[in-house]
Amino acid sequence: MTAKSVLVTGGAGYIGTHTMVELLASGYDVVCLDNFSNSSPEAIKRVEKIAGKRVTTVIGDVRDREVMSRVFKRPIDGVIHFAALKAVGESVARPVDYYGNNVGGTLALLDAMHERKVQRVVFSSSATVYGIPDKLPIAEDAAVRPVNPYGHTKAMVEQILRDWCDARAEHAAVSLRYFNPIGAHPSGAIGEDPHDVPNNLFPFITQVAVGKLDKLTVWGNDWPTLDGTGVRDYLHVMDLARGHVTALEYTFAHTGCATVNLGTGRATSVLQMIAAFEAASGKKIPYVIGPRRTGDIAACWANPSLAQQLLGWQAKQSIEQACADGWRWQQSNPNGYRS
Ligand code: NAD
Ligand code: WQD
């Protein structure tokens, strides 16, 4: 039987690379479209090495009609859409870029899909759409109340996909609301490679551990949480990658639009993450306590039960495993793919 072919937009990025490894391992042919605005072609070479299979790579912007018509000249059975800008603070400073790329890019993709009658898509949404939760854990029926332009772009695309599915009975879409992905492929060959000083906790910790940064600032220890520091739901990026494969398979077996949390249901504080990383890496993480970060929330973790019911997916890997895998990546690649 001919292998199904999947277009992965933004496939050279952090989550895209890990998902492409899982797609190749599951027997899919993979076409990666990426403009390398926040990634490197080296990442794709590493994916191919891990998988022992080739990836068809098209370099270009998802908003470029010529590029997209070239992409869809080949048979594509489904799409996983990662391509986006994703920094919350940057989205406040550059909202038009975020709406143009994240919303405009999705509309351009759906246009190109329409021309070639490609009818299924998995979309990278984010728990950011929930804003400040009323109650914890957060289930998919919680209020969608984004508090920054980035979160608004994700909520808008979720609505676009609901309307897209309502328009044609044969359309299938799954929007995945990720919580906090961390870690790396166990080989240490691919991982998170922020281009500037990391905003996110985990890559900041790994860069302190490898000596690129001298200390961590813990943004506030006066939150109403177990130890006063921020609490999040950290999930291993390999679990997340597998979640995308199950979501894609779901679109082959169902039509309509589903919106699903991908999280562990586990709440971990900043201090607990520091302790877990120190235990996994054997490296001390020096830190100071700083003020709360603007726009931060105290706590956020998932009710992951719908993913289990609908997709048969649940997170399997521990925080400790993610710390060990993330450290292996950073230790072997102190300057990311530029190493
Ligand atoms: P990333 O920046 O590592 O990957 C995004 C990839 O998309 C990059 O390779 C970039 O070059 C590419 N890209 C961006 N705009 C493009 C365009 N217009 N055309 C073609 N390629 C383009 O980010 P990531 O962490 O892998 O996130 C992937 C997706 O998951 C994003 O949509 C992000 O919003 C979402 N997400 C990420 C997190 C997280 O914490 N990393 C959490 C929730 C949701
Ligand atoms: C986690 C915790 C910080 C850095 C962000 C985006 C979200 C999604 C995931 C894209 C918080 C604390 C952090 C540091 C710290 N990305 N922290 N010192 O803010 O939960 O989510 O990434 O979709 O949209 O908002 O993740 O890793 O930035 O912070 O104390 O140097 O670590 O206060 O409690 P966040 P994060």
Instruction: Tell me the domain boundaries of the chain.
Output: 5-182+234-263
Q: In 3D, which of 268, 272, 300 has the Cα closest to residue 287?
A: 272
Which residues contact ligand 1 via a Cβ below 6 A? 9-10, 12-16, 33-39, 61-63, 82-84, 86, 101, 105, 124, 126, 178, 180-181
- List the beta bridge partners of residue 71: none
State both tokens at 288. Answer: 């100071």
Can you give the pLDDT at residue 335?
95
DSSP states along 278-321: HHHH-----EEEEPPPTT--SB--B--HHHHHHH-------HHH
Can you give the pLDDT at residue 195?
87
What single-letter DSSP state applies at residue 139?
A: P
**237-256 pLDDT per residue, tens:** 999 999 999 999 999 999 99
Burial string for 21-54 (b: 16+ CB within 10 Å, else e) reads bbbbeeebbbbbbbbeebbbebbbbbbbebbebe
Q: Is 150 a known active-site residue? A: yes
State both tokens at 323. Answer: 């710390």
Distance CA 237, CA 58 (A): 24
Q: Of all protein residues, whose CA lies closest to atom 8 belonging to ligand 1?
A: 13
**H or E segment to which residue 40 belongs:** none
Coil, strand or helix: which one is 140? coil
Q: Looking at residues 284-292, what average pLDDT do you find?
A: 98
Q: In 3D, which of 57, 80, 115 has the Cα closest to residue 4?
A: 80
Mutate to test the pocket of ligand 1, among 57, 82, 94, 156 (most ligand atoms within 8 A of CB): 82
State both tokens at 120. Answer: 């299924």
Kind of pairing between the strands at 287-290 and 78-81 = unpaired
Q: Of all protein residues, whose CA lies closest to atom 32 belonging to ligand 2?
A: 201
* Residue 139 CB neighbours (<10 A): 15
Cis, bond preceding 137 (omega within 30 deg of 0)? yes
Q: Looking at residues 131-149, what average pLDDT do you find?
A: 97
What pTM value is reported for the model?
0.98
CA of 153 to the centre of ligand 1 (A): 13
Q: Of all protein residues, whose CA lies closest to atom 27 belonging to ligand 2?
A: 200
Kind of pairing between the strands at 5-9 and 78-81 = parallel
CA of 144 to the centre of ligand 1 (A): 21
- List the beta bridge partners of residue 182: 236
CA of 199 to the centre of ligand 2 (A): 7
Q: Of all protein residues, whose CA lies closest to atom 34 belonging to ligand 1?
A: 86
Question: Is the predicted pLDDT of residue 199 greater than 90, yes or no?
Answer: yes
**49-93 pLDDT per residue, tens:** 999 999 999 999 999 999 999 999 999 999 999 999 999 999 999
Place of tokens 């020096």: 286
Q: Looking at residues 223-240, what average pLDDT do you find?
A: 98
Mutate to test the pocket of ligand 1, among 39, 71, 86, 102 (most ligand atoms within 8 A of CB): 86
- Decide which of 3.40.50.720, 3.30.9.10, 3.30.360.10, 3.10.20.30 is the CATH code for 5-182+234-263: 3.40.50.720
Contact 6, 79 (CB under 8 A): yes
Q: Looking at residues 139-162, what average pLDDT do you find?
A: 98
